Amino acid sequence: MRKASLLFVAATAMLLNWSALMAPAQEASNVPEEKAGTLVGADGQPVKEKKRRANDFWAVMTGSGWFGVVIWIGLFGIAGGAIYFAVDSIITTRPKRIMPQSLTDAVTEAMKEGDVIKALEKCENEPGPLANILTAGFSHVEEGFEVIQDAVSTAADLEVEKIMQKLNWISVMASLAPMLGLLGTVQGMIMAFAHIAEGAPDIGFLALAIAQALYTTAAGLFIAIPTIALYYNLRNSVNKTVLRMEAMTMELIKDLRHVEVVEG
């Protein structure tokens, strides 16, 4: 779990600084050269022409039109959603959170004494997935062992579904990011070819349009790759925890075959 958390944090840092990583390595060594076609002002002094840099992230984002800005807002929103659901899942799917050792010890001790009421109270005092499953079983102790098994199985399926729903949101974020990045790529290429169709193209505008196409693709991949890795890591960890929880539940309720409830 710690490895998954560190992986996602590192990927987030890469996302926040990805525009810097996309900048050319030789930018610092670039020296502006005078061209033969330099504009001259009325006073005879050369006039510097301001150009939009294709590797300027802000220029790419604002120069892609309102639709491009919406795409970028969506990408940042997906990145924020992925971080939120990842952190929430990392916290709520910890094995200690799903099946706390203190509850296990308390219920085991109560079952050794044959006191189902005490075990039920322990579950109510420490709510959680394991407590909910055990409570479902203990609540039907008077109805027979088969009914107890059915109640435990139903409660276990419900708790697993609750846990997996949290993880599914991470998968949704991982799926949406590259799709939205691809939409930005298509939009950037449409801008570029539409500008070419108008006649003599402005090279600077074409560079910005192509940069929009590539930047959105890169942003989508930067979000999706670590998110997918984290999703499968968490899913495998949850599956192991669920199997342990089900085995422990069956071990705890097997003694209910011969337990009688005594009202105290």
- Say what the pLDDT of residue 55 is: 53
From CA 73, how far away is CA 67, in angstroms rounded?
Answer: 10
Q: Give domain status of residue 24, yes or no.
A: no
Mean of all residue pLDDT scores within the chain: 75
Q: Give domain status of residue 215, yes or no.
A: yes
Q: Read off the pLDDT of each residue in 88-106 and give the average, rounded to a whole number.
A: 85
Question: pLDDT grade, residue 172 (50/70/90)?
Answer: very high
- Please indicate, yes or no, whether the overall pTM of this predicted structure exceeds 0.85: no
Determine what percent of the chain is predicted with pLDDT higher than 90: 16
Q: Give domain status of residue 86, yes or no.
A: yes
> Residue 151 corresponds to which tokens in the numbers above?
């109640």
Specify the amino acid at residue 82.
Answer: A
Radius of gyration of the chain (CA): 30
Q: Are 190 and 210 in contact (CB under 8 A)?
A: no
Q: Out of 38-47, 114-123, 229-238, pick the least confident.
A: 38-47
The pLDDT of residue 246 is above 80:
no
Q: Give domain status of residue 106, yes or no.
A: no
DSSP 43: T
Q: Give domain status of residue 115, yes or no.
A: no
- What pLDDT, in 10s, does the model give residues 2-18? 555 544 544 554 444 44
From CA 37, how far away is CA 34, in angstroms rounded?
Answer: 8
Q: Give domain status of residue 32, yes or no.
A: no
Q: Read off the pLDDT of each residue in 66-83 and give the average, rounded to a whole number.
A: 90
Q: Which residues lie closer than 8 Å to 216 by C-beta, 6 or more apart?
A: 68, 71, 72, 75, 180, 181, 182, 183, 184, 185, 187, 188
Distance of CA 228 to the CA centre of its chain: 8
From CA 220, how far away is CA 230, in angstroms rounded?
Answer: 16
From CA 204, how far away is CA 199, in angstroms rounded?
Answer: 14
Specify the amino acid at residue 38.
Answer: T
Our count of domains for the chain comes to: 1
Q: Give domain status of residue 79, yes or no.
A: yes
158's enclosing H/E stretch is helix 145-197
- Say what the pLDDT of residue 34 is: 39
Q: Are 170 and 231 in contact (CB under 8 A)?
A: yes
Number of residues written out for the chain: 264
Q: Are 245 and 94 in contact (CB under 8 A)?
A: no
Query: For residues 10 and 66, which has the higher predicted lDDT (pLDDT)?
Result: 66
Q: Give domain status of residue 238, yes or no.
A: yes
Range of the domain at 240: 2-12+57-99+166-257
